[in-house]
């Protein structure tokens, strides 16, 4: 354990296990992780049938910000991107947005990884491969080959998201 870790705490609860109806135990573990900072992991577990349900609670002490990154050259595709669980990511040129959901865990990837993921999901977004589908797919493919510039924008109310490049432009957002 590093100096930020606290020993896990286990508490018997009055909550019944959804599988066997025995009491659930709540285990709480606090730690610090890169980019996110302080987190608490809460796990409900049943000692009888071994049922488990875990969730992560994030400290939201960061300052809201917006990061804009213009991808213009091949090396930009390798830039590391961390999108926190509550951050919005958008690419205006292809009218794409990734919004956080209830089960969002955030994402640590590269610019290339984001573009490839969107490219793979395009088929789910279009019932039929329309002209719009081919336009967006073509723009992504050209950007992956560094032939067409594209912009990545992250808006994060927790201030935890990062684009690790000196070319990234950071703006404070109103709290």
Looking up residue 23, the CATH number of its domain turns out to be: 2.20.25.420
Domain-located, residue 36: yes
Domain-located, residue 2: no
Query: Of 24-28, 66-70, 123-127, which gets the smallest average pLDDT?
Result: 123-127
CB of 27 within 8 A of CB of 123?
no
**Three-state SS for 122?**
helix
Using a 10 angstrom Cβ sphere, with 0-12 exposed, 13-18 middle and 19 or more buried, the burial of residue 31 is middle
What pLDDT does residue 2 have? 46
Do residues 156 and 78 share a domain?
yes
What pLDDT does residue 125 have? 82
Which residues on adjacent β-strands are paired with residue 81? 109, 163
What pLDDT does residue 58 have? 65
Domain-located, residue 142: yes
Kind and range of the H or E run holding 35: none
| pTM over the 0.75 mark | no
Residue 103 confidence (pLDDT) above 50: yes
Q: Among 58, 73, 88, give the residue marking a domain's end.
A: 58
pLDDT tens profile 130-172: 888 899 999 999 999 988 899 999 999 888 889 999 999 999 9
Domain-located, residue 1: no
Residue tagged 């956080």 (tokens): 100
Distances (CA, A) of 38 to 17, 88, 95, 156, 160: 29, 21, 33, 17, 11
pLDDT tens profile 49-88: 999 988 777 665 678 999 999 999 999 999 999 998 889 9
- Residue 98's domain comprises 65-172
Residue 128 confidence (pLDDT) above 80: no
Q: What is the mean pLDDT of the chain?
A: 86
Strand order in the sheet with 65-71: 96-98, 88-91, 150-156, 65-71, 169-172
What pLDDT does residue 36 have? 64
Count up the domains in the chain and report the number.
2
Residue 1 confidence (pLDDT) above 60: no
Q: pLDDT band at residue 5, thresholds of 50, 70 and 90? A: low
């Amino acid at each position: 354990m590093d100096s930020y870790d606290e020993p896990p705490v286990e508490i018997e609860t009055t909550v019944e296990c959804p599988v066997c109806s025995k009491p659930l135990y709540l285990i709480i573990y606090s730690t610090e992780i890169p980019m996110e900072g302080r987190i608490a992991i809460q796990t409900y577990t049943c000692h009888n049938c071994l049922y488990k349900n875990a969730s992560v609670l994030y400290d939201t002490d960061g300052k809201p910000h917006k990061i804009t990154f213009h991808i213009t050259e091949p090396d930009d595709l390798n830039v590391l991107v961390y999108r926190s669980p509550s951050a919005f990511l958008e690419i205006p040129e292809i009218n794409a947005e990734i919004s956080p959901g209830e089960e969002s865990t955030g994402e640590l990837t590269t610019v290339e990884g984001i573009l490839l993921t969107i490219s793979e999901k395009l088929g789910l977004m279009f019932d039929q491969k329309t002209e719009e589908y081919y336009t967006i797919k073509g723009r992504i493919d050209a950007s992956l080959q560094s032939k067409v510039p594209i912009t990545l924008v992250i808006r994060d109310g927790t201030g935890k998201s990062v684009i690790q490049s000196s070319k990234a432009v950071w703006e404070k957002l109103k709290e």
